[in-house]
Amino acid sequence: MTGTTPTRFLTGITPSGTPHLGNYAGMMRPAIAATHSSGVENFYFLADYHALIKTQDPARVHQSSLEIAASWLACGLNPDKVVFYRQSDIPEIPELTWFLTCVAGKGLLNRAHAYKAAQDKNHEAGRDSDDGVNAGLFMYPVLMAADILIFNAHQVPVGRDQIQHIEMARDIAASFNHLYGEHFVLPEAAIEEQVATLAGLDGRKMSKSYDNTIPLFTPPAQLKKLIASIVTDSRLPGEPKQTEGSALFQLYQAFASAEEVAAMRQAYADGIAWGDAKQRLFECIDREVAPMRQRYEYLMAHPQEVEAVLQAGAKRARALATPFVQRLREAVGLRSLASAASPGGKKAKASKAQQPSFKQYREADGKFYFKLLDSQGQLLCQSQGFDSPKEAGSAIAQLQSQGMAAWAALQPQLTLAAQRSQDELSAALAQLQQAD
Ligand code: TRP
Atom of ligand 1 nearest to the CA of 140: 1
Supply the CATH classification number for the domain 338-435: 3.30.160.160
This prediction has a pTM of 0.77
Nearest-atom index, ligand 1, CA of 147: 12
Ligand 1 atom nearest to CA at 165: 1
Q: Specify the ligand 1 atom closest to the Cα of 87.
A: 9
User: pLDDT in tens for each of the 436 residues of the chain?
Assistant: 444 679 999 999 999 889 999 999 989 999 999 999 999 999 999 999 999 999 999 999 999 999 999 999 999 999 999 999 999 999 999 999 999 999 999 999 999 999 999 999 999 999 999 999 999 999 999 999 999 999 999 999 988 889 999 999 999 999 999 999 999 999 999 987 767 789 999 999 999 889 999 999 999 999 999 999 999 999 999 999 999 999 999 999 999 999 999 999 999 999 999 999 999 999 999 999 999 999 999 999 999 999 999 999 999 999 999 999 999 999 999 999 987 766 554 544 544 557 889 998 888 888 999 999 988 888 899 999 999 989 999 999 999 888 888 888 888 899 998 888 888 898 888 888 776 6
Give the distance (Å) from ligand 1 centre to CA of residue 154.
15
φ, ψ at 102 (rounded to 5°):
-80, -5
Return the CATH class of domain 7-198+302-330: alpha beta
What pLDDT is recorded for position 431?
83
Of 392, 366, 407, 385, whose CA–CA distance to 184 is shortest?
392
**For the chain, which residues make up each domain, given as ranges?**
7-198+302-330, 217-291, 338-435
| Sign of the C-alpha dihedral computed for residues 403, 408, 409 and 410 taken in this order | positive
Find out whether 172 and 103 touch, Cβ atoms under 8 Å: yes
Closest Cα to atom 8 of ligand 1 = 12
Ligand 1 center–CA 383 separation, angstroms: 33
What is the chain's alpha carbon radius of gyration, rounded to the nearest angstrom?
26
The answer regarding whether domain 217-291 maps to CATH 3.40.50.2300 reads no
Which residue of 8, 11, 65, 163 sits with most ligand 1 atoms within 8 Å of its CB, as the best mutation to test the pocket? 11
